Amino acid sequence: MYFKQLTTEGLGCYSYAIGCPAAGEMIIVDPKRDVQEYLDISREEGMKIIKVINTHVHADHVGGEQELRSITGAELMIHENAKVGYEHTPISEGDSFTVGSAKLDFIYTPGHTPNAISILITDMMRGDEPWMILTGDLLFVGDIGRPDLPGNEILDEQVENLYNSLYVKFAQLPDYLEVYPAHGQGSLCGKGMSAKPSTTLGYERRHNPMLQFNTFAAFKEKVLESFPSRPKSFTHIIKTNFEGAPLLERCPLDRAMNPEKFKQMIESGCTVIDVRDAAGFGGFHIPGSINIGLEKQLANWVGMAVEPDADLLLVVNSKENYDRMCLELHRIGYDKIFGYLQGGISAWLMAGYKVESLAQKSAQDLHQAIKEGKEFTLLDVRTPAEWDNGHVKSAVHKPFAKALDEGINVDKDHPILVMCGSGYRSNIVGSALQNNGYTQVCSLAGGAIAWARSGFELV
């Protein structure tokens, strides 16, 4: 039996290739939208992709099942409760099939979504007992799936489903089973996931805090205590996955634009994402643009800061950066990418068009301003957990997503210094505040890390 876990960096997604080299056939589970990696495995290992399975309708990334079917003709499979709008084979509780020496048995395990399955995998060359289980977004390494994404109207039902799947159905399975989830650290589908990509069912029973409750009431209270922020992109991604994602070849063509054309596109209503680093954006940027740099988890930040149906333009330092950004955007269903500014911000400046700056203040600048009693608002946009671990005494706390959605309740000419952990999120929020009319916005370069390393106090 062939088995391989594949990681989508940034989104914290795992997909799986399962097959039998002797039979020359392979199955892909929970594929990402850019599918070349699966095609490479298929070619290199000599196995044809015959089926594509989704463990549920995903909320955080657009699936690659449509791409794989268009290229390989593979059969698409998902649970019968997922009323998707594309041709597929429904999976029911107790269904089973084999691919050469690999046997797959399906368990209906709702809770994260009402249409979720887990997959028991047996290598029949080694024995007739299952070796591992793909748990989708039900059970993670160190956490469980959040039940709120399908909507508040079925939240209570989802929490009960979550408990029954974890505490009743999984209770019948042996400790030795290796657990392979659909997500890991960096995903917003859970809260406390480990960076380790797999675990065992027995270890999770002993050490996963969400599997230690003696009653459903205690479990429910903890589950409903808090949920991670829900990006704007999730509703759009769910809708796209239900309908079946358009093939990437149908997305707008990549094109480089001169400053004049770029300016015309902005005036027609396009949103500009500037992917340069904080210092570069801070020096000069196009008015109205938002700074989302090329860092590991940029897709999550795009999903919170940019509307999913926006027409997008990009400011990049190179064509390679443009290609990478397009890849990240396509993974979360942001397909309306109309091009990039040829020559970058320098070309815009040389054309004589207006620019803005987002001042970058150092930890020493902040410390001196506090010491001198200067009037300004220090806005900390980190998570509640980060805030609780230590913050600047004079800061006002408003988590990233809320700061983007609500702004800050001060006069628009009042000085604001935005801080986060490293200076990345503060530039996103700072640029958004500028776009909403705040005239004196700065960002703390290096964020809380720089503040602490400078020897200044956190409370």
Domain identity same for 31 and 157: yes
Domain identity same for 39 and 171: yes
CA distances from 316 to 28, 243, 281, 303, 455 (A): 34, 32, 10, 19, 35
Kindly report, residue by residue over 293-312, the tens digit of the pLDDT: 998 788 989 999 999 999 99
Domain identity same for 377 and 343: no
Give the pLDDT score at 150.
87
Sign of CA dihedral 129, 135, 139, 141: positive
* 45 lies in some domain: yes
Domain identity same for 202 and 99: yes
Give the pLDDT score at 12.
85
Domain identity same for 178 and 282: no
Neighbouring C-beta atoms of residue 103, cutoff 10 Å: 18
Domain identity same for 283 and 363: no
* 31 lies in some domain: yes
Q: Cα(453)–Cα(56) distance, rounded to whole angstroms? A: 44
- Residue ranges making up the domain that contains 189: 2-234
* 244 lies in some domain: no
Give the pLDDT score at 147.
94
Give the pLDDT score at 254.
55
- Per the structure, the count of domains in the chain is 3
* 459 lies in some domain: no
Q: Cα(135)–Cα(182) distance, rounded to whole angstroms? A: 7
Residue tagged 């459903």 (tokens): 216
The CATH number given to whatever domain includes residue 154 is 3.60.15.10
Give the pLDDT score at 252.
55
* 246 lies in some domain: no
Q: Please tell me the chain's helix, strand, coil percentages from 3-state DSSP, rounded to the nearest 5.
A: 35, 25, 45
131-162 as b/e: b if 16+ CB within 10 A: bbbbbbbbbbbbbbbbbbbbeeeebeebbbbb
Domain identity same for 152 and 25: yes
Q: DSSP states of 143-179 as a string?
A: SB--S-TT-GGGHHHHHHHHHIIIIIIGGGS-TT-EE
Ranges of the chain whose pLDDT falls below 50: none
Residues 441, 358: contact at Cβ < 8 Å?
A: yes
Kindly report, residue by residue over 130-187, the tens digit of the pLDDT: 999 999 999 999 999 999 988 889 999 999 999 999 999 999 999 999 999 999 887 7
Q: Cα(265)–Cα(263) distance, rounded to whole angstroms? A: 5
Among 202, 234, 266, the domain boundary falls at: 234
Please give the model's pTM, rounded to 2 decimal places: 0.87
**24's tokens:** 């020359």
The CATH number given to whatever domain includes residue 264 is 3.40.250.10
Beta-strand pair 178-181/256-257: unpaired
* 247 lies in some domain: no
Domain identity same for 164 and 76: yes
Domain identity same for 271 and 388: no
Domain identity same for 141 and 269: no
Give the pLDDT score at 226.
85
